[in-house]
Amino acid sequence: MLIIDELKTSLIGPINLVLEDGSCTAISGPSGAGKSLFLRALADLDESSGTITLNGRDRERFSAPDWRRKVAYVPAESGWWSERVADHFQPTPELVKQLAAVGLEEASGWEVSRLSTGERQRLALVRALQIDPEILLLDEPTSALDPPSVAKVELLLKERVAAGRTILLVTHDPEQSIRLKADCVHMEGGRLLKRDLHEEAS
Ligand SMILES: Nc1ncnc2c1ncn2[C@@H]1O[C@H](COP(=O)(O)OP(=O)(O)OP(=O)(O)O)[C@@H](O)[C@H]1O
């Protein structure tokens, strides 16, 4: 369980939120609301104050690399540091299955320069899944994808949640939140508000 207590940076907060094991939480909100900054602060990529505990252990007690393996952030635009796609992955037995799950079974033989935006987005997700973080922070993970690819990614996310892992994602699509059975929060002006899509629909 991740407990976020009075998280603040110079631009957002204070933010309080609890993420239960095996839960999916969707953040919506207008452009500039601070959604990406919130995920970055959680992953300890930007300086922040407040208390964050993972399974009862304070973030201060983890080294930064260890924390980022447990609370992994996938930005909307991923970074690539080598020419070959394969160089970005651990050659594990699961890799072939994971690539196939996002429709990219051939991609490990490709050059990064040929990747489309949607291919980059799906491969960045597989990269994060290889780390197997306890909390996966996804910034608009399907924004560049066509509906069949969205369905593949959502299936992966649902399987992950069913296996007890935790997902916090930014999405502008209320239908996606419903499909993922996500708890919904809304961000505005750097603050989080609870949102009940099911109540709004009734
Ligand atoms: N280093 C910075 N210095 C000053 N302002 C910043 C900095 N980084 C981000 N901001 C501003 O903070 C606000 C929140 O940015 P953020 O990227 O979190 O928005 P967002 O909610 O993710 O928006 P979008 O949906 O467009 O991606 C924006 O107005 C942005 O311009």
Give the residue, by CA position, lying nearest to ligand 1 atom 11: 32
Q: CB of 35 closer than 6 A to ligand 1?
A: yes
* Per-residue pLDDT tens digits of the chain, which is 202 residues long: 999 999 999 999 999 999 999 999 999 999 999 999 999 999 999 999 999 999 999 999 999 999 999 999 999 999 999 999 999 999 999 999 999 999 999 999 999 999 999 999 999 999 999 999 999 999 999 999 999 999 999 999 999 999 999 999 999 999 999 999 999 999 999 999 876 555 555 4
How far apart (Å, rounded) are the C-alpha atoms in residues 38 and 42? 6
Residue 186 CA to ligand 1 centre (angstroms): 15
Strand ranges across the sheet with 57-58: 15-19, 2-8, 49-54, 57-58
Query: Contact 171/151 with Cβ under 8 angstroms?
Result: no
Structure tokens at 4: 């976020």
Strands 57-58 and 49-54: antiparallel
User: Residue 114 has which token pair?
Assistant: 């040929």
ipTM greater than 0.90? yes
Q: What is the pLDDT of residue 200?
A: 54
pTM above 0.90, yes or no: yes
Question: Which alpha helices (H) appear in 17-146, and where do they start and end?
Answer: 35-42, 64-70, 93-101, 117-131
What pLDDT, on the 0 to 100 scale, is given for residue 194?
Answer: 74
- Check pocket membership of 37 for ligand 1, CB cut-off 6 A: yes
pLDDT at res. 193: 86
